[in-house]
Structure 1
Amino acid sequence: MSQAVLSLARILVVVLFCVSGAQKLMNPAGVVGAVSGKGLPYPEVLAYLTIAAELGLGLLIALGFYARAASVLLAVFTVATIVFFHNFWSMTGDAARTNQIQALKNLSIVGGLLMIAAAGPGRFALNRR
């Protein structure tokens, strides 16, 4: 049973990334705009890297294919989103409160991703590295 729970947890941790990545894939111009709005360089490149990270790494983890490596990469990506997009420490009022919640949510997700990296994908995976 614990192997089934581990596999289910692995999938549930990345549902958010897969859905978000698929939505971004349908509107890459919106992602470019969001990246541009933060003043980051090469917004087109970063937009497509974002889509690849969310959808690609999310699917790898969900399938259990190189899940350890993919979860570490997705954790790094998620920390970067906290720093560049949910930087509540430089905001005030409602924006600060909303982004603090988003940052803490992302930090919790990073914890789940690191658990996958530590425990592996479980028995029900395309590979068990």
Structure 2
Amino acid sequence: MATANTAPNPAQDTLALVGRILIAYLFIPAGIGKLMGFGGTVGYITSAGLPMPEVAAAIAIIVELGLGIALLLGFKTRWTAIVMAIFTVATALFFHKYWSAPEAMKMMQQINFNKNIAIAGGLLALAAFGPGRFSIDKR
């Protein structure tokens, strides 16, 4: 492993790339789905009681699709990952409220909530340690 005085090794660069690909694999298709089903996305956001659902849907598409692609390519990775982590935690808080879910949905919502928190952790690790050499940022 690299220390403060050494550069990352090829294995670390490869792992950072694989990590970016796997995280982008979650966000990019979700963003495409929201874009293609914009009305349904707005309806779902409305059902959660959030204000300005059209604006919220547009923000979700920008984060998931736009920043998902940026993360995949390793472009402005640290800032991109921070914004995506904040978005992911907010999504957990607004859409996976297991603490107030009906009993039949409680476990699934808690799993989804916990997954979002874990994804945010992975994004913050990318923000902390960067995208690796195989990225636009390092070109």
TM-score (ref. length: structure 1):
0.95
- Confirm or deny: 8 A CA contact 1:31 1:47 kept in the other structure: yes
Q: Paired residue for 1:46, among 56, 60, 82? A: 56
Residues 1:14 and 2:28 are matched in the alignment? no
More helix by share: 1
Q: Mark the runs of 5 or more structure 2 residues left unpaired by the alignment.
A: 1-10
Note the C-alpha offset of 1:58. 0.7
Q: Paired residue for 1:64, among 50, 71, 74? A: 74
Q: Paired residue for 1:109, among 96, 103, 119? A: 119
Q: Aligned pair count?
A: 129
- Confirm or deny: 8 A CA contact 1:120 1:128 kept in the other structure: no
Identity score, percent: 44
TM-score (ref. length: structure 2):
0.89
CA distance in 2, matches of 1:57, 1:26: 17
Q: Mark the runs of 5 or more structure 1 residues left unpaired by the alignment.
A: none
Note the C-alpha offset of 1:92. 2.8
Runs of 4+ in 1 over 2 A off after TM superposition: none
Q: Deviations over 1:85-119 (max 9, x none)?
A: 00111123121111001001111101110110011
* RMSD (Å), alpha carbons: 1.2
Q: Deviations over 1:5-29 (max 9, x none)?
A: 2111111122100111011111100
Find the counterpart in structure 2 of residue 119 from structure 1: 129
